Amino acid sequence: MQHLLSPSIMRLVLPVLYAVVIVAVLPLMAGYIVLMERKVMADMQARLGPMRVGPHGLLQPIADAVKLLLKEDIIPEKADRLMFWLAPLVSVTMALLAYAALPIGPAFQIADLNIGLLFILAVSSLGIYGIVLGGWASNSHYSLLGALRSAAQLVSYETAAGLGLISALLLAGSLSMHDIVMAQYDQGMWFIFYVPIGFFIYMVGSIAETNRAPFDLPEAESELVAGYMTEYSGFRWSLYFLAEYANMIIVAGIATTLFLGGWLRPFAGYHDHMPGTSIELLDALPALLVFGVALYCLFLAPKQPVRIQKIVMALVGGLCLAIAGVLAGSLFASPAVLQGVHGAFWFLAKVFGYLYFFLWFRFTFPRYRFDQLMRLGWRFLIPLALVNLITMAIALLISREWGWSLRLTSILAIVVTLAVAMFLAKNDEVDSAVPVAESE
Amino acid sequence: MSDPRTTEPTNVSTTVLGADEIILNMGPQHPSTHGVLRVKLKLDGERVVDSECIIGYLHRGVEKIAEHRSYQQFAPYVDRMDYVAAVSNGLGYCEAVEKLLGTEAPIRARVVRTILTELQRIASHLLWLGTHALDIGALTPVFYCFREREEILKIFEKYCGARLTTHAFRIGGLQYETYDGFEQDVKRFCDDFVHRIDEYETLLTENRIWVGRTKGVGILSAADAIALGVTGPVLRASGVKWDLRKAMPYAAYDQYKFEVPTRETGDTYDRYVVRMEEMRQSRLICLQGIENIPTGPIMARIGKVLKPPPGEVYHSIEAPKGELGYYIVSDGTTQPYRVRVRPPSFINLQAFDKMARGSLVADVVAIIGTIDIVLGEVDR
Amino acid sequence: MANDPSEKDSASKTPASGAVGKPAAEKPVEPSQAPSAAANPSAPPAAKPAAPAAPATPKAAAPPAKEAPPKPLPLDNELVQRLKARFGDAIHEATLDRKQAIVTIAADQLREISRYCRDDEKFDMLVDLTAVDWPKREKRFDVISILYSFAKNERVRLKAHAGENEPVPSVCEIWPAANWLERECYDMFGIVFEGHPKLTRILMPDEWQGYPLRKDYDILKQDTDWVRENLGIESGQ
Amino acid sequence: MVLNSILFYFFSALAVGSAILMVTRRNVVHGAVYLITTLLATAGVFLLLQAEFLFIVQVILYVGGIMVLFVFVIMLVNLDVSLLQYQFNRQRFVAGVLALALGAQIFVAIKMGQKSLFPMTRVPQMSPKNTEAVADALFGHFMLPFEIASILLLVAMIGAVVMAKRRV
């Protein structure tokens, strides 16, 4: 196959293949994240969540997708047709474009740009246009107000999230995502342990950036109803929906790559062998885990009330069994294949772990008011991120110049930053207590 | 560009961006107006300059109907007014007519009435907490609150067959004897409930965002509260220690010890704390009540046909929303000549404009929630 | 049925039978089903037939322990004396009905007496403000305002008689609570409170004709007019 | 190489086309969108020249930052007033002279660069890590201008805040 195509074309085939896989899998993954969200929400609220479509609601995303396709797609009469059509497209394309540099496995990366992280940030920040143009095109006062509010929120929290990321970049020394993960492998420590405050700031910034949880203000404002998405319906609305969940996965991917060691297995550097075989315990873990899930599904299958649900549960069990087989099989294959397959598993596991926090925040915290949200962003998060960046840089400098171990200096940096955070929080408290007088 | 706005702002404050005052309509069909309430807000940018509540969408003319029904026949209508606290409505009406007749319900009936009314108060506060937290964005408390409220509604259903509009009491006492296992059910609910309240507290009370959204929002001073005739938890949160169950005890409240919680600043957070404390106190009353429900008749000796002597009476009770009063004029026939209901939600809602003025649009939802109105009672 | 006989006496006896007569005639049809449905199964059947046979007897036997004498007795405590001293003949009479103080005052003095009650007598909360319609009297409306004093933990009821189109002084500046209450009184009875900041209908639609809670307000006529006006057909009521 | 030049012509055509469209649109929002496409097209050209950092800076700065501001202002200022006014003022003569001058300039540029119009030779391979190269230049060699520029921006920001503050 190699000689058939010229090398320059050959260089394109693999990335295009990955791109097709990602674009195909993404809507399915977004659908199942929605299901995961509804199930976790139900679990936290002492109820069951969707149970009717498929066993334990497993076919719910497919049902939702079909519904959205069949729903009537209304365009408001005096709306700006070109913009109304263009806005969701902009949102979705920018969200999908950001996957180009996301390293899912050591090999599974569409394009290892040497400005990878910057590219993802730039492209995901273009998503604002989708929102603002959507709000404008719907020609209704409220959706415009909602659009401008979410745009303002996105812009201000991007700075905070960006500064949070830079503190991790200091350690990595390169913008390419692949090198960042390799840096964490070389230093033998995930960056979250060196710069946890940067991770915290990035998490809060990313939640605000994707308009979720305590910051999902534009949709939930009492008079804005659904913000910029009010006038959209049917498939067009699902494009926005897909863009939002794609953004969520990207944000989780960036956090995993930068702070949680991308596709690295926990204790990546630690090598021991189970007696008698060449397999390491930690490598076998994913296979065992998925195998356990498969057994549980097969165990549940006969107990499903409806026959169709029995079949679907059995299918799911079979699918998990297959994945477990692949994972186990790769144990015996060459290290490259092992790292590739397990890398993808660990990356996805961390992404879903990170998303679980998103969902957790959504169901415990009430919503911020818009001025509180802005105050938190500008008065607390951005100064804290700056301070964290400076202290981290100093810590790095000390460890390089005077040879102290980075762990020690980073702990000092964290203590200093926390002290500053306390100070910032205290005077932030005083301001927010008197909103009325302040603006007169 | 006008100089810094030291002068009185002109009625139409035109700012550089030309965003002059806009009129914003909330309701009557709106997710967080607790029923068909329409609020016209005049906004200057984000700040509420003036507000006007337009009500009457649920007006069914209960007082007109009362003039064409006999005393017993009107009792079920009373449940439909504040449909969230039907039992206490019934208690107020029955006691008012008993006062009109000059009789009193036997002690056993009064004790059972007190227990059921206190359970209803907890149920009403639970519904308030759930919807109030939902309006401010906390998605979870509403499901916990409704789980507890379900227990109470089961007790009502076992006792009188209905969950919401119960018509649990009759003029002169009770219609049904308490079902066996009534004490155990109430005991089980009370024992379990104390942990549940702590669950809500952990979710909300120290939650920085909840405090940020409620502290300093919708402040009502004690003087304004009294002047506006506001009663109930809203009044107590403004610092006035006044509860009809203590000031003018009715039913069997004089036999039980309980506290009247009050707070000082009278903002949304204080009203939240007062109502949470009230739920704990109601639980204590129920526990004291079921210790010994006295034996004896459950119905006073009044005839089938009630013809109270001509005259008038005003009797009021401490309903979950405030002072619920009945002013009944009798002309000696079997049908009341005039029944006037003093609706706490109607008068508390009047204080909305005082609270909402100067606050932000996002707070309007919290303020409507904190007054705890039910439109059935506002419109009657 | 159980309520039938008493229904007829009430129709004839009530002074307001005049215009109300026509609807009252249909009334017995309606209520008779309601009570039988409401009459609970547990009451022994034997007792029911006995009741209609002798409607007169339960009336006498019914309220054996009725202490409140039919006519409210005159009241003369310090409050009434101070009021009389201050306002003289504006205080028409003071009675005690079912142990509740009622002071009947002249309508035009309502604002001064209310201000006096709030400032000097410490009745700082207006519990309720409503009206009762006695169409037979020449001053047909009773404007009732119920006051409560936190200090003395006591209630008093001021009753002022007002004629059909006779404006009553508004107490809005004394108790802001009166704002909506007076609007409701105007909406339901048509009593004009002069000095009220915005006296408009509060519960009924703004363009509603007639005042619902008046005794001579006939729902049926109102309904047929509305149907004829808006739908252009004859309502079959 | 063929792919390279195809892309180059595609991007430049896109840039010129959307620039023309931008000017002629009556609806301001459409104009803004076409301006964004122009900027993205020029970013594409940077990418073709292997200047990845410039590509990213162009995308983040112009399209992600400045254009968002443009769109914000367009949406906040209610436009139905300006749409009614006549868009073009009557200085036709001045416009004509300017157009001629610009035309002459372009003609001279083309005349001089005749050889490199159709780039046959490959652009010299930039060092893969041009981000470091840019960083060294900025903070090493051109430290002073960089600081002056940042102070200038700071002053501008403070000025904006003061102006906005006075109005509130």
Higher model confidence: residue C122 or residue C46?
C122
Nearest Cα neighbor of A171 from A149, A188, A150 is A188
Interchain pair C177, B316: CB under 8 A: no
Location of structure tokens 């249909």: C26
In a domain, D110, yes or no: no
Q: Give residue B147's pLDDT.
A: 92
Interchain pair D53, A115: CB under 8 A: yes
**Cis-peptide into C44, omega within 30 deg:** no
Q: Check pLDDT > 70 for residue C58.
A: no
What is the b/e burial string over D57-69, where b = at least 16 CB atoms within 10 angstroms of the residue's CB? Answer: bbbbebbbeebbe
* Chains A, D: CB pairs < 8 Å: 57
Q: Are strands C100-105 and C91-97 parallel, antiparallel or unpaired?
A: antiparallel
* Chains B, D: CB pairs < 8 Å: 8
> Where residue A383 falls among pLDDT bands split at 50, 70, 90?
very high
What percent of chain D lies above the pLDDT cut of 70?
Answer: 80
Interchain pair B18, D167: CB under 8 A: no
Strand partners, B312: B329
Q: Check pLDDT > 50 for residue C47.
A: no
**Distance between CA B46 and CA B42 in Å, rounded?**
10
pLDDT in tens, B30-63: 766 677 888 888 888 778 899 999 998 888 889 9
Is the complex ipTM higher than 0.90? no
> Where residue B280 falls among pLDDT bands split at 50, 70, 90?
very high
Q: Which of A173-182, B322-331, C30-39 has the lowest mean pLDDT?
A: C30-39
Higher model confidence: residue D4 or residue A388?
A388
Q: Give residue C45's pLDDT.
A: 42
Q: Are strands B338-342 and B169-170 parallel, antiparallel or unpaired?
A: unpaired
Q: Give residue D15's pLDDT.
A: 94
| Burial of A377 (C-beta count, 10 Å sphere; 0-12/13-18/19+) | buried
Long-range Cβ contact pairs of B62-66 (< 8 A, separation 24 or more)? B62/B341, B62/B380, B63/B338, B63/B339, B63/B340, B63/B341, B63/B380, B63/C188, B63/C213, B64/C212, B64/C213, B64/C217, B64/C219, B66/B336, B66/B338, B66/B339
Whether residue D166 lies within 8 A of chain B, CB to CB, comes out as yes
pLDDT in tens, B232-277: 999 999 999 999 999 999 988 999 999 999 999 989 999 999 999 9
Structure tokens at A308: 């169709």
**Distance between CA B116 and CA B224 in Å, rounded?**
33
Q: Check pLDDT > 70 for residue B123.
A: yes
| Mean per-residue pLDDT, C60-64 | 42
The answer to whether residues D137 and D67 belong to one domain is: no
Interchain pair C31, B73: CB under 8 A: yes
Residues 283-342 of B with CB under 8 A from A: none
Q: Check pLDDT > 60 for residue C3.
A: no
Q: Give residue D88's pLDDT.
A: 64
**Distance between CA A371 and CA A377 in Å, rounded?**
10
What percent of chain A lies above the pLDDT cut of 90?
Answer: 18
Interchain pair B209, A45: CB under 8 A: no
> Where residue C67 falls among pLDDT bands split at 50, 70, 90?
very low
Q: Give residue D82's pLDDT.
A: 60
- Within 8 A of C201 by CB-CB distance, chain B residues are 56
Q: Check pLDDT > 60 for residue A2.
A: no
Of C64-78, C202-216, D4-18, the range with the highest mean pLDDT is D4-18
Q: Check pLDDT > 50 for residue B9.
A: no
What percent of chain B lies above the pLDDT cut of 70?
Answer: 94
**Distance between CA B42 and CA B160 in Å, rounded?**
47
Chains A and D touch (3+ CB pairs under 8 A): yes
| Burial of A3 (C-beta count, 10 Å sphere; 0-12/13-18/19+) | exposed
- Within 8 A of D77 by CB-CB distance, chain B residues are 17-18
Domains of chain C are 73-225 (3.30.460.80)
Q: Check pLDDT > 50 for residue B346.
A: yes
> Where residue D84 falls among pLDDT bands split at 50, 70, 90?
low
> Where residue D129 falls among pLDDT bands split at 50, 70, 90?
low
Interchain pair B18, D77: CB under 8 A: yes
What is B62-379's CATH superfamily? Cytochrome-c3 Hydrogenase, chain B (1.10.645.10)
> Where residue B13 falls among pLDDT bands split at 50, 70, 90?
very low
> Where residue C18 falls among pLDDT bands split at 50, 70, 90?
very low
pLDDT in tens, A129-164: 888 888 888 877 778 878 888 888 888 898 899 999
Whether residue B242 lies within 8 A of chain C, CB to CB, comes out as yes
What is the nearest CA distance from B197 to chain C, expressed in angstroms? 32
Which amino acid, one-letter code, is at B37?
Answer: L
| Mean per-residue pLDDT, C143-172 | 91
Of A210-219, A320-329, D132-141, the range with the highest mean pLDDT is A320-329
Q: Is the dihedral of CA B356, B360, B363, B368 positive or negative?
A: positive
Q: Check pLDDT > 90 for residue C212.
A: no
> Where residue B72 falls among pLDDT bands split at 50, 70, 90?
very high
Interchain pair A214, B137: CB under 8 A: yes
In a domain, D139, yes or no: yes
Whether residue D6 lies within 8 A of chain A, CB to CB, comes out as no
- Within 8 A of C7 by CB-CB distance, chain B residues are 334
Mean pLDDT computed over every residue of chain A: 84
Q: Check pLDDT > 90 for residue A220.
A: no
pLDDT in tens, B76-113: 999 999 899 999 999 999 999 999 998 999 999 999 99
φ, ψ of residue A303 in degrees (nearest 5)? -85, -5
The answer to whether residues D83 and D154 belong to one domain is: no
Q: Which of A80, A118, A144 sits opposite D56 (nearest CB)?
A: A118
| Mean per-residue pLDDT, A377-391 | 92
> Where residue D83 falls among pLDDT bands split at 50, 70, 90?
low
Helix (H) or strand (E) holding C158: strand C154-162
pLDDT in tens, A35-88: 999 998 888 888 888 888 878 888 888 998 898 888 888 888 888 888 888 899
> Where residue C40 falls among pLDDT bands split at 50, 70, 90?
very low
Return the CA Rg of chain D: 21
**Segments making up each domain of chain B, as ranges:** 4-54, 62-379
Interchain pair A363, B139: CB under 8 A: yes
Full domain range(s) for residue D28: 2-87
Q: Give residue B1's pLDDT.
A: 34
Q: Give residue A223's pLDDT.
A: 54
**Distance between CA A380 and CA C226 in Å, rounded?**
62
Whether residue A8 lies within 8 A of chain D, CB to CB, comes out as yes
What is the nearest CA distance from B345 to chain C, expressed in angstroms? 12
* Neighbors of chain C by Cβ distance (3+ pairs < 8 Å): B
Q: Give residue A276's pLDDT.
A: 64
pTM exceeding 0.95: no
Q: Which of D76, D78, D167 sits opposite B1 (nearest CB)?
A: D167
Q: For residue A150, what is the nearest residue in chain D, using CA coordinates?
A: D72
Report CA B52 to chain centroid distance, whole Å.
Answer: 22
Whether residue B26 lies within 8 A of chain A, CB to CB, comes out as yes
CB A283 within 8 A of CB A364: no
Q: How far is CA C66 from CA B94, B309, D3, D132, in A?
A: 17, 9, 107, 101
**Distance between CA A381 and CA A164 in Å, rounded?**
9
pLDDT in tens, A156-201: 898 899 999 998 888 888 888 888 888 888 888 888 888 999 999 9
What is the nearest CA distance from C81 to chain B, expressed in angstroms? 23
Q: Check pLDDT > 60 for residue C9.
A: no
Q: Check pLDDT > 80 for residue C11.
A: no
pLDDT in tens, B132-169: 998 888 888 999 999 999 999 999 999 999 999 999 89
> Where residue D141 falls among pLDDT bands split at 50, 70, 90?
confident
> Where residue C73 falls among pLDDT bands split at 50, 70, 90?
confident
Mean pLDDT computed over every residue of chain C: 73
**Distance between CA B147 and CA B160 in Å, rounded?**
20
Q: Give residue A1's pLDDT.
A: 46
Coil, helix or strand for C150?
coil
Q: Give residue D118's pLDDT.
A: 56
Whether residue A371 lies within 8 A of chain B, CB to CB, comes out as yes
**Segments making up each domain of chain A, as ranges:** 1-70, 82-270+357-433, 281-355
pLDDT in tens, B198-240: 988 888 888 888 998 899 899 999 999 999 999 999 999 999 9
Q: Give residue D167's pLDDT.
A: 62
Whether residue B269 lies within 8 A of chain A, CB to CB, comes out as no
Q: Which of A80, A114, A126 sits opposite D29 (nearest CB)?
A: A80
Q: Check pLDDT > 70 for residue A219.
A: no
